[in-house]
């Protein structure tokens, strides 16, 4: 799976950029603030969700531009695009082959996965970051995952509102919402467990190399739809008092262990944590490629700069021939060991040249 053409219109600091990358490595080099991460962010918006910065859409339209933005790409079998219109900076538009589509439909077209410097703290932050990471991994294996997540959350928001606002909430209304949460919540939980199990098995099979092997487990609520519906019904008074739903798959956490050291990832050094993340992402990319026949697009923001030359060469080796891999760095020299056939761009002040 690779983009053969990417067009940015008024996206961040790129007024009008057209890229025609090859199917393998795509290297973006340039000074701080040149607009390299912006290009990766644009690609990340071609998947469902808020992209790699999780920024509001209204931040993305170029200052001094039309007020809207566009990101369009050509895939082997489709033209896809997303953006906003000048008068509606918060409303996301998605098009597939020229027709309007929900953002969730993008997951059926391509998988995009990223590693950014902001993810360096994922193992010491609150569970939400790790859960989001796991959900992105899961989405690449189960495209319906995003729809289950949004339906679960929509039903939960309604239930929370009724429990907090109504003195005597209608039990039938609550039961209907809880049934919806149970259906989608159980599907969410099952898909996450499946991802953790498959990815865990793949990581366990790998030799201890330059990227640390991670052990994975899903912590938190577990059960089936029936159990979840029962737990929610019993938890009404508790949730009404708290003003939110205190138990369920929306509270799950991905527990990661450094296998060789038998240590929780949160206690590992920053470099070790980065190596764990990289190991998970690489194993996941291979798993997705084997299972779906299409390698995810990988966006590695400033990853090369944090690796010593040996690990850097090992990274390029491992990624060679595994689909489209976008990498950024301030120095072109960081990418000298990238095998031939890479598309190399220089980014400067929002202008991209080859
Ligand atoms: N909506 C916007 N309109 C115009 N420019 C923007 C917008 N949003 C961000 N920028 C600019 O984009 C630039 C940052 O780009 P980006 O994060 O891609 O840099 P980078 O090349 O990855 O840099 P670094 O190496 O420091 O990570 C900044 O100069 C910022 O001011």
Q: Which of 28, 34, 331 most suits a substitution to test ligand 1, by most atoms within 8 Å of the C-beta? A: 34
What is the 3-state composition of the chain as percent helix, strand, coil, each rounded to the nearest 5?
A: 45, 25, 30
**What was the pLDDT predicted at 179?**
98
- Of 69, 133, 79, whose CA–CA distance to 106 is shortest? 79
Q: Is 30 annotated in some ligand binding site? A: yes
Q: The tokens of 189 are what?
A: 């939980």
Q: Which pTM was predicted?
A: 0.90
Name 9's bridge partners: 16, 70
In sequence order, the 6+-apart residues with CB closer than 8 A to the CB of 311 are 210, 211, 275
Give how far Cα 236 sits from Cα of 45, 170, 181, 186, 231, Å: 37, 12, 14, 19, 9
Over its length of 354 residues, how does the chain's per-residue pLDDT go in tens digits? 899 999 999 999 999 999 999 999 999 999 999 999 999 999 999 998 899 999 999 999 999 999 999 999 999 999 999 999 999 999 999 999 999 999 989 988 999 999 999 898 899 999 999 999 999 999 989 989 999 999 999 999 999 999 999 888 999 999 999 999 999 999 999 999 999 999 999 998 887 777 889 999 999 988 899 999 999 999 999 999 999 999 999 999 999 999 999 999 999 988 889 889 999 999 999 999 988 888 999 999 999 888 888 889 989 998 998 899 999 999 999 999 998 889 999 999 889 999
Q: Which of 35, 39, 83 most suits a substitution to test ligand 1, by most atoms within 8 Å of the C-beta? A: 35
Q: Which residue, judged by its Cα, is nearest atom 19 of ligand 1?
A: 33
In sequence order, the 6+-apart residues with CB closer than 8 A to the CB of 3 are 21, 43, 46, 73, 74, 75, 297, 324
Q: Is 9 annotated in some ligand binding site? A: no
User: 276 by DSSP, 3-state: which?
Assistant: helix
225 alpha carbon – ligand 1 mean position (Å): 45
Phi-psi bin for 328: left (phi > 0), alpha (psi -120 to 50), beta?
beta
Q: Is 33 annotated in some ligand binding site? A: yes
Q: Which residue, judged by its Cα, is nearest atom 11 of ligand 1?
A: 13
User: 211 by DSSP, 3-state: which?
Assistant: coil
| Burial of 237 from C-beta contacts in 10 A (0-12 / 13-18 / 19+) | exposed
CA distance 218 to 78: 35
| Residue 158 beta carbon below 6 angstroms from any ligand 1 atom | no
| Residue 9 beta carbon below 6 angstroms from any ligand 1 atom | no
Measured at the alpha carbon of residue 242, what is the angle toward residues 239 and 245, in degrees to the nearest 5? Answer: 40
Range list of H helices, the chain: 36-44, 127-141, 145-165, 171-205, 225-234, 236-242, 270-292, 309-319
In sequence order, the 6+-apart residues with CB closer than 8 A to the CB of 123 are 130, 256, 264, 265, 266, 268, 273, 276
Q: Is 220 annotated in some ligand binding site? A: no
């Amino acid at each position: 799976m690779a983009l053969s053409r990417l067009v940015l219109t008024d996206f961040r600091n790129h007024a009008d950029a057209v890229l025609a990358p090859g199917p393998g490595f795509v290297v973006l080099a340039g000074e701080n603030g040149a607009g390299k991460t912006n290009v990766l962010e644009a690609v990340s918006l071609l998947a469902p969700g808020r992209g790699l910065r999780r920024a509001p859409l209204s931040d993305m339209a170029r200052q001094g531009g039309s007020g809207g933005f566009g990101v369009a790409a050509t895939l082997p079998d489709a033209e896809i695009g997303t953006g906003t219109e000048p008068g509606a900076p918060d409303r996301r538009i998605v098009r597939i082959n020229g027709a309007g589509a929900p953002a969730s439909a993008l997951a059926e077209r391509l998988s995009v996965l990223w590693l950014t410097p902001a993810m360096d703290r994922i193992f010491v932050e609150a569970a939400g970051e790790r859960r989001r990471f796991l959900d992105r991994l899961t989405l690449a294996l189960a495209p319906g995952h995003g729809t289950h997540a949004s339906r679960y959350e929509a039903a939960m928001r309604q239930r929370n509102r009724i429990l907090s606002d109504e003195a005597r909430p209608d039990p039938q209304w609550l039961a209907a919402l809880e049934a919806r949460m149970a259906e989608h919540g159980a599907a969410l939980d099952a898909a996450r467990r499946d991802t953790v199990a498959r990815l865990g098995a793949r990581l366990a099979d790998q030799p201890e190399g330059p990227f640390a092997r991670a052990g994975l487990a899903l912590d938190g609520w577990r059960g089936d739809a029936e159990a979840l519906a029962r737990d929610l019904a019993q938890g009404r008074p508790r949730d009404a008092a708290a003003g939110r739903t205190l138990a369920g798959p929306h509270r799950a956490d991905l527990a990661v262990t450094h296998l060789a050291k038998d240590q929780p990832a949160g206690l590992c050094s920053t470099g070790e944590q980065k190596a764990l993340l990289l190991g998970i992402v690489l194993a996941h990319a291979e798993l997705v490629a084997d299972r779906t026949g299409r390698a995810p697009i990988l966006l590695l923001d400033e990853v090369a700069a944090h690796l010593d030359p040996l690990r850097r060469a090992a990274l390029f080796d491992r990624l060679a021939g595994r689909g489209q891999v976008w990498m950024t760095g301030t120095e072109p020299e960081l990418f000298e060991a990238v095998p031939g056939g890479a598309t190399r761009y220089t980014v400067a002040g929002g202008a991209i040249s080859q």
